[in-house]
Amino acid sequence: MTVEQKKLRVGVLGCGPISQAGHFEACSKASNAELYAICDSADELRSRMQAIWQPTVAYADYQQMLDDENVDAVIIATADAFHIQLAMMAINAGKHVLCEKPLGITIDECEELVEVVNKTDRLFQLEHMKRFDGGIQAARDFIQTEMGQLVAYKGWYCDNSQRYLTINAVQPQVILSDSKRKPKIAPKADLQQYNLLSHGSHLLDTAMHLAGDITEIESHYLKRAGHQCWLMSVAFADGTLGQLDLTLGVHMDWHEGFQIYGENGSVVGKTYNPWFYKSSDVEIFSKATGNFTRPLAADGQFYRRQLEAFADSILNETPIIRAATLEEGLRTVRTMVAIQESTRTGKSVRVADARGSV
């Protein structure tokens, strides 16, 4: 007789583009989780998503979803400005949380959440699905086990001007709603802040996941010819030198990746537009063997893989492995605040001294 494995019953808050293109399918395909509930205050959008994805139940009101005892965990997929308040509500209702990146916008609000979550036994994981990209995982494994001391990390994340042609070609039809709940200040009102929060958070998380904490940052910024460009010199905690390039609107293909030089080898990675669901091409050179390795990480559904890891930690009471923790989310917000300050002042900023808001 086979014992049916318990599945994590997930409630997804927000039926917007990221849920439609990522989370609903991840929940439906996960081996150890199910799309139990969805929630959105926009009635027509929620009804359409209910018809397509067939959750057991759909809620217009978030508190009602939190009051549902059958919901084990929530995925928070709303505008950045809402993340902290909605995460607090979920934790206070006793739910585990998988929250979209970035964690928040101000350092203070993120610190407050860390304090609240740490008083509970609830699992809080941040959505940084690139950590579940098998190519990036191979790079990290090599760094952790064989690379020895790191010398330099170069990372780039350049969204391209053709992105919507690509996205429209590969994503399912995304339904937008005029009645969706929006923050008081439109996220794109300040494009510099928006790009740092949306794209910079990925660049920083990958860099810190592979090379450790960034302690100091000097950022040079140029807005020209329709581009926003940050070129940054950074120092990692162990003394590794770093250069980061965040440029939005490059006239070429999606351009994201990293090069890492170390004591016992090197790693070069090319990351694809996420909506292709294709793992990064990573080439690892080992000084010991004199060989290159190029892993084929055939399962590129990193949203599903991330959710399965989250569910596994909860169902089996195991610690978070690979995924971005709450503290790492705070660290990324702090680093973004340091970038803003360095951009404003033209000076190098110690991340530990950063205060205020992205």
Residue 78 Cβ, how far from ligand NAD at the closest point, in Å? 4
Q: Which is nearer to ligand NAD, 197 or 349 (CB)?
A: 197
Assigned token pair, 322: 């690979």
Residues β-bridged to residue 8: 33
Closest CA to 94 of 328, 306, 314: 314
Residue 55 Cβ, how far from ligand NAD at the closest point, in Å? 14
Q: Which is nearer to ligand NAD, 156 or 236 (CB)?
A: 156
Residue 50 Cβ, how far from ligand NAD at the closest point, in Å? 13
Sign of the CA dihedral 12, 14, 20, 22? negative
Q: Which is nearer to ligand NAD, 47 or 177 (CB)?
A: 177
Task: State the residue number with the nearest CB to ligand NAD.
Answer: 16
Q: Which is nearer to ligand NAD, 100 or 341 (CB)?
A: 100
Closest CA to 196 of 162, 159, 171, 234: 159
For β-strands 255-262 and 265-271, DSSP reports them as antiparallel
Assigned token pair, 115: 């304090």
Assigned token pair, 270: 């090319």
Cβ neighbour number for residue 6 with a 10 Å cutoff? 10
Q: Which is nearer to ligand NAD, 16 or 134 (CB)?
A: 16
Q: Which amino acid, one-letter code, is at 225?
A: A
Q: Which is nearer to ligand NAD, 46 or 142 (CB)?
A: 46
Closest CA to 343 of 225, 199, 229: 229
Q: Which is nearer to ligand NAD, 177 or 215 (CB)?
A: 177
Residue 40 Cβ, how far from ligand NAD at the closest point, in Å? 4
- Per the listing, tokens 């990221």 go with 18
Which residues are near ligand NAD by CB under 6 A? Answer: 14-19, 39-42, 45, 62, 77-80, 82, 100-101, 127, 129, 177, 180-181, 198, 274
Q: Half-sphere exposure (CA, 13 Å, Cβ side) for 313?
A: 21
Residue 193 Cβ, how far from ligand NAD at the closest point, in Å? 12
Residue 7 Cβ, how far from ligand NAD at the closest point, in Å? 23
Residue 334 Cβ, how far from ligand NAD at the closest point, in Å? 18
CA 141 to CA 292: how far, in whole Å? 15
CA 155 to CA 242: how far, in whole Å? 8
Q: Which is nearer to ligand NAD, 100 or 109 (CB)?
A: 100
Backbone angles phi, psi at 228, to 5 degrees: -120, 125
Residue 94 Cβ, how far from ligand NAD at the closest point, in Å? 18
Q: Using omega within 30 degrees of 0 as the cis cutoff, is the peptide bond preceding 102 cis?
A: yes
DSSP 109: H
